[in-house]
Amino acid sequence: MRLSAYLLPTLKENPAEAQIVSHRLMLRAGMVRQHAAGIYNWLPLGLRVLRNIERIVREEQDAAGAQEVLMPTIQSAELWKESGRYDDYGKEMLRITDRHDREMLYGPTHEEVVTDIFRQNVKSYRDMPKMLYQIHWKFRDEVRPRFGVMRGREFLMKDCYSFDMDYAGARASYNRMFVAYLRTFARMGLRAIPMRADPGPIGGDMSHEFIILADTGESGVFCHKSFLEKPIPEAADYGKDLQPIVDDWTGSYTATDEKHDPEADAVKAIGADLVSARGIEVGHIFYFGTKYSKAMNAVVAGPSGEPVTVEMGSYGIGVSRLVAGIIEASHDDAGIIWPESVAPFKVGLINLKTGDAATDGACEGLHSALRRAGVDALYDDRDERAGAKFADMDLIGLPWQVIVGPKGVAKGMVELKCRATGAREEVTAETAVTRLTL
């Protein structure tokens, strides 16, 4: 992609409305623009990151045995009356009336809709268990949307729902998602710590929040230092009993600000091994048994034909929030530092002297060699000062930079820079391509 043709409206100054670093950097890097309070346009660079995060989430959901569906954003109020949540949900729910005066709403979550799909289409224990997920937009009319996409009104969520015959099955589904979450966040370069949580309006009696550590995170968190090093489960572990893994990850002390009690025995016992950090909630999983299946009559026939009210759980990931969360966890004074797995492009190719025939030629050659090798590169071919090009490239945070100038070209050399470490190396163009293809 040529930067001269790309919609990348970078900003030199910090926008006054942005209070946290990820919001500032997302605006400055031209990733998003606000449309209305808590509602954003995703520009090309931001959308690429969002799609990469979606891809990782999708791969891990599929690996855990969940099946992707797509439900409507606009839902009928009927189902919410059946579950009893229509009145409970209050002002956070955006209510709409259609031309026939029917009550509709923009879904803040999808327990009702998915339970309706289930009850209409699954009738027997032979077709159990089931896990269905989607990656789709939600709307919650938050009182105070803030911090950009971190707390939006419209936001992208991965929401998964499990249906099982009994508690043991539901527990196994919960454990699969638990492990999938550890793997998903680790693939984005994040360390997520599961913390026992209040289920809130989703309901139920077992729930964990997944909190990623970032110095600039919204909430304070406390945990045993062992969480910082615990090995991430392998995908192959799905074939085993996952309970020991989940027990290991939930066995030691964790607490958010509100719940932390420095006087508690558990805290005193940890002593100097207690880590105090900042965190961001990027995922939340719930087991709620028959709360919705009972209210909505989601019943299947058991082995002897007896009706069984299915056991359910739901599992959310804040996909759009993760874009901001990753930036909070990975940036420096110059800008964003993308982990390769989610980077919008792997490489930024910087032409230090656009218009100079030899430099242009070397850049064109590299650009097509990278394309042939299947490497995503953003080529800064603009007629701009070198300083502005360096600043923009550091700001948008691509993992690698290839810097091409007339002096190097005369010697047959280019510079390869790693954004995360700042390490620079002079190499031939061929070596640069080989190294970036690895």
Q: Is 394 in the site for ligand 5CA (CB under 6 A)?
A: no
Q: Which of 109, 115, 184, 330 binds ligand 5CA (CB under 6 A)?
A: 109
Judged by beta carbon, residue 195 or residue 369, the one nearer ligand 5CA is 195
> Measured between alpha carbons, how far is 433 from 419 in angstroms, rounded to an integer?
17
Tell which residue, 313, 354, 309, has the closest CA to residue 203: 313
| C-alpha radius of gyration, the chain, whole number | 25
Identify the DSSP state of 32: E
The token pair at 176 is 């699969």
**CA dihedral sign of residues 74, 79, 84, 86:** positive
Q: Is 157 in the site for ligand 5CA (CB under 6 A)?
A: yes
- Could you tell me the smallest distance in angstroms from the CB atom of residue 279 to ligand 5CA? 12
- Could you tell me the smallest distance in angstroms from the CB atom of residue 33 to ligand 5CA? 17
Judged by beta carbon, residue 111 or residue 116, the one nearer ligand 5CA is 111
Choose the binding region for ligand 5CA from 23-31, 152-160, 300-308, 340-348 (rule: CB under 6 A): 152-160
Show the binding pattern over residues 286-325: x = contacts ligand 5CA (CB under 6 A), - = does not.
----------------------------xxx-x-xx----
Tell which residue, 389, 368, 386, 379, has the closest CA to residue 433: 368
DSSP string over 16-73? TT--SHHHHHHHHTTSEEEEETTEEEEPHHHHHHHHHHHHHHHHHHHHTT-EE----S
Length of the chain: 438
∠ CA 360-361-363 to the nearest 5 degrees? 65
Q: Is 367 in the site for ligand 5CA (CB under 6 A)?
A: no
Asked if 391 and 348 touch (Cβ cutoff 8 Å), the reply is no
Q: Is 282 in the site for ligand 5CA (CB under 6 A)?
A: yes
- Could you tell me the smallest distance in angstroms from the CB atom of residue 68 to ligand 5CA? 14
Q: Is 28 in the site for ligand 5CA (CB under 6 A)?
A: no
Q: Which of 54, 60, 116, 159 binds ligand 5CA (CB under 6 A)?
A: 159
CB-CB neighbours of 246 under 10 Å: 20
- Could you tell me the smallest distance in angstroms from the CB atom of residue 219 to ligand 5CA? 12
- Could you tell me the smallest distance in angstroms from the CB atom of residue 181 to ligand 5CA? 10
Q: Is 192 in the site for ligand 5CA (CB under 6 A)?
A: no
Asked if 312 and 166 touch (Cβ cutoff 8 Å), the reply is no
> Measured between alpha carbons, how far is 126 from 165 in angstroms, rounded to an integer?
10
The residue ranges that bind ligand 5CA (CB under 6 A) are: 109, 111, 140, 142, 151-152, 155, 157, 159, 202, 281-284, 314-316, 318, 320-321
